[in-house]
Each structure stands twice: as structure tokens, then as C-alpha cells.
Amino acid sequence: MKIKFSLIISLLLFLTSLTGISIADDNAFGSLVTPKDQTTTATYAPSPETVDKTLHPLLQNAVGSNTLMAIMISPSMKIGLIRTTSGDEYFVRVGDLIGNSEGKITNITSSGIEVTEKEEVISLIVRNRSVANDENAE
């Protein structure tokens, strides 16, 4: 009985060591921007009609198709919570890329996020109402 028990424990420890290895970033709110020396060749979707599923969800659609759900501002950091058209939510900060036209978040204020896209500034304002409330308001 002791041998079976020790074999099972050994097997569990071995399997845990294989599947439990992960490399975690120190900052859970890290930037989506990859340093130049680590970049891989990425292609942006040529038009809004076609969506490249290999890109990050924040880069698949136009900036205006995303919903800004919340802003969190502290003396050391500004973070926004974005909901994509697929319903997924992501934390973003100044410098992150967003949209399918190489937009970059340039400022986060208490009222919204400013995205610079081809020398044009697009503002996303905070919309903290649910989708159900939006449908009822129309």
C-alpha cells in the first residue's frame, strides 16, 4: 500500500512539474507593445471587412468598434478597460497598440482614451453601462 501511494505521489509531482512551468511577467498590467528587438513580422488587416484572427483581438477591428468600460488612474499609472466586439475585455495603457490601422494609445484621462491613428486623434469615452441597458435606451 505504501509503495502504491508513493508511486502515485511521485507521478503527480512529476506531472505537475511538467505542466506547472510558466513564465510570468512581473507586471500583470504589462503593455501589449513589444520592444523593437523582440518584434515579429505582423500583418495588419487590410480592410475592416476582413479580420485577421492571428492578430491580438485589440488589433483586429477599428478603434471605434471597441467599448471603453472603465478608467483607473493613480499617481503612477493610468489604465483603461476595453471591451472588444467579441465581448472580451483587456487592460490597456498609454503606448499600447489598438485598432487595425496601427493606432496607438497616446493619452488616458478621467473621461476617456485618446488614440492616434495616422495623424488623426480618435477618442473613446467611458461607457460603463451594460449592453442590455444600451438596447433598452434606444
pLDDT of residue 43: 44
Helix (H, G, I), strand (E, B) or coil at 132: helix
Question: Is the distance from CB of 112 to CB of 123 less than 8 angstroms?
Answer: yes
- The verdict on residue 1 lying in a domain is no
The reply to whether 118 falls in a domain is yes
Is 84 a member of any domain?
A: yes
Percent of the chain with pLDDT over 90: 31
In the prediction, which pLDDT does 56 show? 87
Q: Is residue 43 part of a domain?
A: yes
Helices (H) and strands (E) in the chain — how many of each? 2, 7
Q: What is the pLDDT of residue 35?
A: 55
Q: What pLDDT is recorded for position 18?
A: 60
Q: How far apart are CA 109 and CA 73, in angstroms?
A: 8
Instruction: Examine residue 54 and state whether it is found in any structural domain, yes or no.
Output: yes
Task: Examine residue 37 and state whether it is found in any structural domain, yes or no.
Answer: yes
In a domain, 6, yes or no: no
pLDDT in tens, 28-52: 555 555 555 544 444 444 444 566 7
**Cα–Cα distance measured from residue 108 to residue 88, given in angstroms and rounded to the nearest whole number:** 20
Residue span of the structural domain in which 65 resides: 26-128
- Structural domain contains residue 67: yes
Collect all residues with Cβ–Cβ distance below 8 Å to 34 and sequence separation of at least 6.
Answer: 40
For residue 31, give the CATH number of its domain.
2.30.30.830
DSSP 18-60: HHS-----S-TT--SPPPGGG-------SSTTS--TTS-GGGT
Q: What is the pTM of this model?
A: 0.56
Q: What is the mean pLDDT of residues 7-28?
A: 64
What would the pLDDT profile of 40-84 be if each residue is shown by its tens digit?
Answer: 444 444 444 566 778 888 988 899 899 999 999 999 999 999 999
The number of distinct structural domains making up the chain is 1
